[in-house]
Structure 1
Amino acid sequence: MTERDAAMQGLSQAASESLLHTVEETDTPDGFKAEPIRGKIIVSPWPGLRSALCLRALRRQLGAHAPEGHLAEAAPFLFRFPSAGRAYGPSLFVADEAVFEADGRSADGAALSLVAEFTSVSTKDADWAEKLEVYGRLVPVYLVVDMQDAEVTCFCDPSPHGYRSRQTVSFGKPLAIGEPFGFDLDTAGLRTP
């Protein structure tokens, strides 16, 4: 496990913190986000117009079933994962609202109950590999909304070795969302034009 953690970090704690600070201070153009991925600062667009209605449909359902005191949001905030030396700005997240009482532009990833990433050609590999591995150790539910393949995958039940459960459905079919949500997601609103 120690070797795996060291391999994931790739950077010293100080270098990782320095990179996160640089990302927090980066003034990205409107519609873009900056994330430290694989020791580099990656600037990518927020999901495009085609995804706006999908994001809204997903956010409404998740918000209605979120754990008490948690809110569903699509906003340009970074969540830190210090043990992995990473920080990500998910497309959509559900987090303990107490985390938003602090100053700054990044929050502790432990506040998350769910993250959803809408894939794009430029981010798909990170969403399916690096982020899956990092989220799979801590975040109860991870949704990958694959806009290119018109599918959504729910990962749940995190462990030190990653998620223990995975289910994929095509847009339009119901998808069971694990605890702490415990409901069937209606994916009909995720259809792309």
Structure 2
Amino acid sequence: MTVMAERDAQPRVEQMQVEEFEAIASSSPETVTLEFLDGRIGVKKVPDGNHDEIVRWLLTRCMQHRPELFLYPERGLVVEAYRRGRVRPDGVLAPADHFLGQGEWADAAGVLMTVEVTSYDHDTDSRDRMEKPAAYAAVGIPVYLLIDRDACTVTVHSGPENGRYRDTHTVPFGERVALPDPVGFALETGAFKSYVR
């Protein structure tokens, strides 16, 4: 048995209860973004300017193709099915006014797509490439879009089923990528080349 298999076979010990996490997150300074995945608290790196420009670029494209929807930046979501998680995706695509009346941590029901843009930090691999797809699939979010600045790729995860995405499609920056229904439009990804180191 490999070291990773042994680690995965052992039960994960939660650092705290979700209620404790929410209390800490609500009192943290605005310069700190906290998430709670797999029973553990994580600090999400403050985005750099290029990261923000990718989110802005994507927000504009979503509005052009689907004006009835809005890409909400940094919207807190409850991913209860994934070990009572709480996440703040870089973008959450949902109908306009979808989060009206909801608090800091909103129900993920009705969300059409989540977006993550990798940051140049040590836990991007586990957080954005492994934990986030599992969390988003577990709550049935139809599409997860990962803009990976390390690999210079765009990955579309779709078809959530049994806590996993059935379909994963990756293209290098510069190629066109389709966002399947219920998002239903394609992106020209060449602009992302300008937003990497």
Q: Under TM normalisation by the shorter chain, which class is it?
A: 0.7 to 0.9
**Residue 122 (str. 1) matches residue 122 (str. 2):** yes
Deviates more, 1:148-157 or 1:159-168: 159-168
Q: 1:10 to 1:185 in 2, by over 3 A?
A: farther
Does the 8 A contact of 1:66 with 1:72 survive in 2?
no
Q: What is the aligned partner in structure 1 of residue 146 from structure 2?
A: 144
Q: Which amino acid aligns with 2:180?
A: G
Q: What is the aligned partner in structure 2 of residue 44 from structure 1?
A: 44
* Structure 1: stretches of 5+ with no match in the other structure: 1-6
Q: CA RMSD in A?
A: 2.5
1:64 shift after superposition: 2.9
Distance 1:145 1:153 in 2: 7
Q: 1:9 to 1:117 in 2, by over 3 A?
A: farther
Q: 1:56 to 1:67 in 2, by over 3 A?
A: closer
Higher relative contact order (CA 8 A, sep 6+): 1
Does the 8 A contact of 2:135 with 2:163 survive in 1?
no
Deviates more, 1:95-104 or 1:155-164: 95-104
Distance 2:111 2:128 in 1: 17
**Residue 79 (str. 1) matches residue 80 (str. 2):** no
Which has a greater percent of helix? 1
Deviation by residue 1:66-109 (Cα, 9 ceiling, x = unmatched):
484x31122x3310012221011001111233442215211001
Does the 8 A contact of 2:77 with 2:88 survive in 1?
yes
Q: What is the aligned partner in structure 1 of residue 27 from structure 2?
A: 26
Does the 8 A contact of 1:66 with 1:180 survive in 2?
no
Structure 2 SS opposite 1:188: helix
Q: What is the number of equivalent residue pairs in this alignment?
A: 182
TM-score by length of 2: 0.81
Does the 8 A contact of 2:94 with 2:112 survive in 1?
yes
- 1:129-168 paired onto structure 2 within 5 Å: 129-137=130-138, 138-168=140-170
1:29 shift after superposition: 3.9
- 1:87-126 paired onto structure 2 within 5 Å: 87-120=86-119, 121-124=121-124, 125-126=126-127
Does the 8 A contact of 2:75 with 2:92 survive in 1?
no
